[in-house]
Homo-oligomer: A and B are copies of this chain.
């Protein structure tokens, strides 16, 4: 495989033992795979911290019976149409809706959208999953 690079790592025996235990518990396939996961996790954290383009999802929970709530959510989403890729709606029960807004953009824009949605009266919860565009994560 030409696009694979191999290099050696030296770990103290104790640390290596602890690491192998952790891999086993998490049912990870190999040390290399475990290292890949750790590196990717770190790269995504940097993506958000450094303000680079990224992706993720905002999850809203609300009671759709609240007056004007749906209109307000829709209105704000249109102001951020450049950041929103798509939305999905689930009816949790007779009252409660869960709406997922998939976003792609700078962390600051995403945070701006979330702040605007958060303060709407009737929004019970606005939660953010910080993922990635995957572009810079091989």
Contact = CB atoms under 8 A, between A and B. Distances in A.
Interface of A: 3-19, 22, 26-29, 31-33, 35-40, 42-44, 46, 55-63, 85-86, 88, 90, 92-93, 95-98, 100, 102, 104, 115-116, 118-119, 121, 124-125, 127-138
Main secondary structure of the interface of A (DSSP, over half): mixed
B26 A10 contact: no
A129 B58 contact: yes
Contacts of A35: 9, 11, 35, 38
B11 A135 contact: no
Given A6-B8, A7-B9, A135 B93 contact: yes
Contact of A132 (B3, B125, B128): B125
Given A9-B35, A27-B119, A128-B129, 10 more contacts: A4-B10, A4-B11, A10-B32, A11-B39, A15-B138, A18-B136, A28-B119, A56-B59, A61-B133, A86-B88
